[in-house]
Structure 1
Amino acid sequence: MYLNHFQLKQKPFNLTPDADMFYLGDAQQKALNTLAIALQQGEGFIKISGEVGTGKTTLCRKLMAMLGDNYHVAHINNSFVNPCEFKLLLAHELGIELNHNVPSYRILLHIQKQLVTLARKNKKVVLIIDEAQAMPRDTLEALRLISNLETGKRKLIQIILLGQPELDDVLARNDMRQLNQRIAYQAELRPMDSADSMSYLATRIQFAGGHEKLLTPKSKELLCRYSKGNPRVLNILADKALMCAFSEGEPQVTKKSVMSAVADSKAVMPEESPLFPRWAVAACVAAALIIPGGVGLWT
């Protein structure tokens, strides 16, 4: 909607995880290094934890884009399933199509056979499970048993658990100690500090083909403060601020645009009272649709 106005090639702050716009801050670099080392070693579970919006899925997609042809990646993003459903999902990711009526033990046999076949082709299998904190206890136990599959020399499958901090509480339970002991590598994605947040904004704008002065110094400061270093919240605020600046016909995002975005966003807890009511951004959008040429920018 505002791309032509700001001469952008694409939206710089899209909420959809995009590996091409991955920002490699300090926490992201450490997590990526942990994943690379763990996969090279070829053993054990790997755990990446972080609060909602800290970039776990984006990190996962960046990793998937980096892995070579010698890897077969299975990605499960719906973890709230029973053991049988989980095995069927894994089988599908491994290229095995099975009827839902197949007994659970036979699904496991098919999975083992396929893992052996891939190993003979020198393929390393990596299973990535998103939102792992939501996995039921019985499904986690099924996952642990699948991790036991190995040849005489190496594991047939490596498992990466991506989850919110609640995942630590789940794994700390006494009945989960066997699985918890198998986590050989782990990293935590924390909110970005001020320097990383500033760099994140600049990197995103650069990727989108924008000018570095698209955001005023004060607007960048406010975006970093109110987002509290959370990448998702920062994207939400920055995108809404661009929308408001566009509706006002401004060539860059100002303090006023940011504060309109802050007032409209339930995802943030501002440190001071918002300067605008919650309908501010809605009013910005309405204004954008009635300004000359505004409707044409939808296409």
Structure 2
Amino acid sequence: MNTTAPVDIYNSFFGFHERPFTLVPDPDFLFWSKSHRLAYTMLEYGILTRSPITVVTGEIGAGKTTLLQHLLKTLPDDVLIGLISNAQGDRGELLQWVLHAVGQKFDPHASYVQLFQQLQDFLLESYANGHRVILIIDEAQNLNVNTLEELRMLTNINSNKDELVQLVLVGQPELRSLIMRPELKQFVQRVGSSFHLSAMSEENVGAYIAHRLRVAGGSGQEFSPNAIHRIYELSRGIPRLVNQICDLGLVYAFSAEEHVVTEETIECVLNDGVFFGASSLEGDQA
């Protein structure tokens, strides 16, 4: 089924040049709530001060990946970035993930010592060429105690007093619990910057919705105050859930030829069972 036409009509109806509430992280739509600004400041602080390890956590859909993408766009040319998403496995597999992330070909049958030596040689060569390496691990809550400890060992690779690699770990709240385990005491001691990205307040949800509407070419007033209040209740201030509800609200308003999404529109979305986020939140309350 071709879904392009309905989306085009939806945009034209409201005067948007693009959909304001997609689920794909997009730095162009980044909304600077107080929490997001603080999280980004701590990311920058960790990088500028050459912190060995920086940790940023937040709920699913809180905007962590969007912040990361914005950060990647602003880093200077002398920084080499290795981005790892959803890494799992033992320490040997972790080294393979790391080498792949920094663009290094390797022998998959090589020993751990050989892989480690290859990575160390790459880091030393990058340092000699005036580059510093930052390794970003997204969805880091999927790592285990052994792989986190192995990551800490990477921060021991240095040249004189300069560390050759910085680590940025981004993950869900359980990452903080994992890091605080007694076995990872040395890991915690290497964390120079950390922040937990909290959900948005109701006021911020309203500002967030208006911001995205305006970025997409709208007036920012396509949602009534009562609709925004209901969206806040349903989403608990989590941006990804806000996006889901708002997108569906616009579809329903377009279908009814209404230029403002009302609380009644949102209730129709709920009653028809098309917002799956509602069931997940009910599960959290159980």
TM-score by length of 1: 0.86
1:256 aligns with 2:256: no
Which residues of 2 match residues 122-201 of structure 1 at below 5 A? 122-201=130-209
Distance 1:271 1:222, change over 3 A: farther
Displacement of 1:239: 0.6
Summarize deviations over 1:14-54 as a string: whole Å, max 9, x none: 11111111111100111111111111111321111111111
CA distance in 2, matches of 1:262, 1:120: 59
Question: Contact between 1:226 and 1:269, CA under 8 Å: does it hold in 2?
Answer: no
Letter in 2 for 1:132: A
Letter in 1 for 2:27: A
Find the counterpart in structure 2 of residue 46 from structure 1: 54
Find the counterpart in structure 1 of residue 110 from structure 2: 102
Find the counterpart in structure 2 of residue 266 from structure 1: 276
Find the counterpart in structure 1 of residue 3 from structure 2: none
Letter in 2 for 1:242: L
Look up the SS of the partner of 2:77 in the other structure: coil
1:243 aligns with 2:258: no
Summarize deviations over 1:242-277 as a string: whole Å, max 9, x none: 1111111212212222122344323237999xxxxx
Question: Contact between 2:51 and 2:191, CA under 8 Å: does it hold in 1?
Answer: no
Q: Matched residue pairs, number? A: 272
CA distance in 2, matches of 1:104, 1:180: 25
CA distance in 1, matches of 2:196, 2:270: 27
CA distance in 2, matches of 1:216, 1:229: 17
Question: Contact between 2:231 and 2:245, CA under 8 Å: does it hold in 1?
Answer: yes
TM-score by length of 2: 0.90
Look up the SS of the partner of 1:81 in the other structure: coil
Question: Contact between 1:262 and 1:270, CA under 8 Å: does it hold in 2?
Answer: no
Question: Contact between 2:214 and 2:220, CA under 8 Å: does it hold in 1?
Answer: yes
CA distance in 2, matches of 1:167, 1:270: 21
**Residue number among 104, 115, 118 corresponding to 2:123 in the alignment:** 115
Which residues of 2 match residues 44-83 of structure 1 at below 5 A? 44-83=52-91
Unaligned runs of at least 5 residues, structure 1: 273-299
Question: Contact between 1:54 and 1:231, CA under 8 Å: does it hold in 2?
Answer: yes
Runs of 4 or more, structure 1, over 4 Å off, are 269-272
CA distance in 2, matches of 1:163, 1:269: 23
Distance 1:270 1:129, change over 3 A: closer
Look up the SS of the partner of 1:88 in the other structure: helix
CA distance in 2, matches of 1:213, 1:56: 27
What is the Cα-based RMSD across aligned positions, in Å?
Answer: 1.8
Q: Kindly, what percent of the aligned residue pairs are identical?
A: 29
CA distance in 2, matches of 1:93, 1:238: 35
